[in-house]
Amino acid sequence: MHKIVITGGAGFAGSHIVDETCRQHPNSRIVILDKMTYAGDVRNISHHVFSNRAQLLVGDISDLETCQRAVKDASLVIHAAAESHVDNSFSNSLEFTRTNVLGTHALIEACRRERVPKLVHISTDEVYGEVMAGSATEEDVLRPTTPYSSSKAAAEMILRGYIQSYHAPIVIIRANNLYGTRQFPEKIIPRFICHLLTGQRLPIHGNGHNRRHYLSTSDFAQAVLFIADKGDIGETYNIGTTEEYTNLEMAQLICEHFGKEVNDLVDFVPDRPFNDARYSISWDKLKSMGWQPKNRLRDDLGLLVDWYRNNMSRYEELFDLRDMPNTAAVS
């Protein structure tokens, strides 16, 4: 029986990768290695863990022994564990280096020692830095600008060293921003949805003109497994979408869904110490292999809002539920 290890599988993107892996690999043993930080939630994976479909190993990827225990006999490791919130990286950047850089190093060293035949590493479009015109290809120079993106780029550099020195069987994925259920409401889409559900105003960094692309987690998870299967060792693949919104357009889209006027609800708040104006990647390489994104945020927004409405009790400590209309519907 094949064993597939997914680090960070109790988090947002990781849990959707777990769902897709369970669906596509019904005969494999799935092991989730997760430290269960504030971003990890057992409810994201409970449907698989309680049915014994997946096993949760609580541990830190920066601990080599933990990693070695987790990846022993694995035929595939998908590495999605990370400190992922850019805002936090300005105040707590050493934690980002510890998890994202040292953690990735410990994990690949464990994979090398245990002779794991493939590691798929999840990176981000943010490693390219700001792209104002055109789109970055996989060959472009990495110019990260924040402690988060620098730590993700540094992790990639460690992996490149392993590819060259040890012929380590690594495939790197750089993805656009993601949207979907289970995303911790520190990121813009769930945060705005939760603010509107609890009758609060929408804080927007700077002038709201920063742009981001948004890819659905279901497209993303399918692309990750597609690349795990078809991607060449040592190669990097961008996963992208054409769905691009400024932060203000995002606020408008979500306000429209709630039947609200955006200008009545936004507060412009001081910007991050650095905030890339735009990211843009080309995913022609993946397209030429037959992958295309299928979903659009506009079409998925209703389901997303319903999910947060039904799961607001998870975020009770962050939002005051007393102001929430229809709180009876909160599970």
Ligand X SMILES: NC(=O)c1ccc[n+]([C@@H]2O[C@H](COP(=O)([O-])OP(=O)(O)OC[C@H]3O[C@@H](n4cnc5c(N)ncnc54)[C@H](O)[C@@H]3O)[C@@H](O)[C@H]2O)c1
Long-range contacts of 255-258 (CB under 8 A, 24+ apart): 255/196, 255/202, 257/301, 257/302, 257/305, 258/196, 258/305
Q: Residue 133, SS3? A: coil
Binding status of residue 99 toward ligand X by CB under 6 A: yes
Choose the binding region for ligand X from 171-179, 225-233, 277-285, 310-318 (rule: CB under 6 A).
Answer: 171-179
Minimum distance of ligand X from residue 34's CB (angstroms):
5
Binding status of residue 6 toward ligand X by CB under 6 A: no
- Of residues 196, 192, 239, 234, the one with CA closest to residue 217: 239
Minimum distance of ligand X from residue 259's CB (angstroms):
27
Minimum distance of ligand X from residue 237's CB (angstroms):
13
If the CB atoms of residues 77 and 324 are measured against ligand X, the closer one turns out to be: 77
Tokens (6 digits) for 300: 């998925």
If the CB atoms of residues 184 and 324 are measured against ligand X, the closer one turns out to be: 184
Determine the residue type at 38: Y
Binding status of residue 128 toward ligand X by CB under 6 A: no
Minimum distance of ligand X from residue 327's CB (angstroms):
26
Binding status of residue 210 toward ligand X by CB under 6 A: no
Q: Indicate which residues carry an active-site annotation.
A: 125-126, 148
Q: Are residues 33 and 7 in contact, defined by beta-carbon separation less than 8 angstroms? A: yes
Measured over the CA atoms of residue 88, residue 89, residue 91 and residue 92, the dihedral's sign is: positive
The Cα–Cα gap between 125 and 294 comes to 19
If the CB atoms of residues 28 and 62 are measured against ligand X, the closer one turns out to be: 62
The Cα–Cα gap between 82 and 149 comes to 11
Choose the binding region for ligand X from 18-26, 59-67, 196-204, 305-313 (rule: CB under 6 A).
Answer: 59-67
If the CB atoms of residues 170 and 324 are measured against ligand X, the closer one turns out to be: 170
Site pattern 137..166 for ligand X (x: CB under 6 A): ---------------x--------------
Binding status of residue 36 toward ligand X by CB under 6 A: yes
Sorted by sequence, the CB contacts under 8 Å of residue 311 that are 6+ apart come out as 181, 330, 331
The Cα–Cα gap between 95 and 224 comes to 26
If the CB atoms of residues 12 and 162 are measured against ligand X, the closer one turns out to be: 12
Minimum distance of ligand X from residue 268's CB (angstroms):
23
Choose the binding region for ligand X from 18-26, 170-178, 229-237, 244-252 (rule: CB under 6 A).
Answer: 170-178
Choose the binding region for ligand X from 82-90, 278-286, 293-301, 310-318 (rule: CB under 6 A).
Answer: 82-90
If the CB atoms of residues 61 and 202 are measured against ligand X, the closer one turns out to be: 61
Sorted by sequence, the CB contacts under 8 Å of residue 80 that are 6+ apart come out as 6, 7, 8, 9, 11, 13, 14, 17, 122
Contact with ligand X (CB under 6 A): which of 5, 19, 31, 35?
Answer: 35
If the CB atoms of residues 236 and 265 are measured against ligand X, the closer one turns out to be: 236
The Cα–Cα gap between 327 and 331 comes to 9
At residue 78, φ and ψ (nearest 5 deg) are -110, 120
Q: Which of residues 252-311 bind ligand X (CB under 6 A)?
A: none
Q: Residue 56, SS3? A: strand
The Cα–Cα gap between 148 and 96 comes to 6
The Cα–Cα gap between 50 and 62 comes to 27
Contact with ligand X (CB under 6 A): which of 37, 89, 210, 238?
Answer: 37
Using CB under 6 A, list all residues that contact ligand X: 7-8, 10-14, 34-37, 39-40, 60-62, 80-84, 99, 103, 122, 124, 152, 175, 177-178, 184
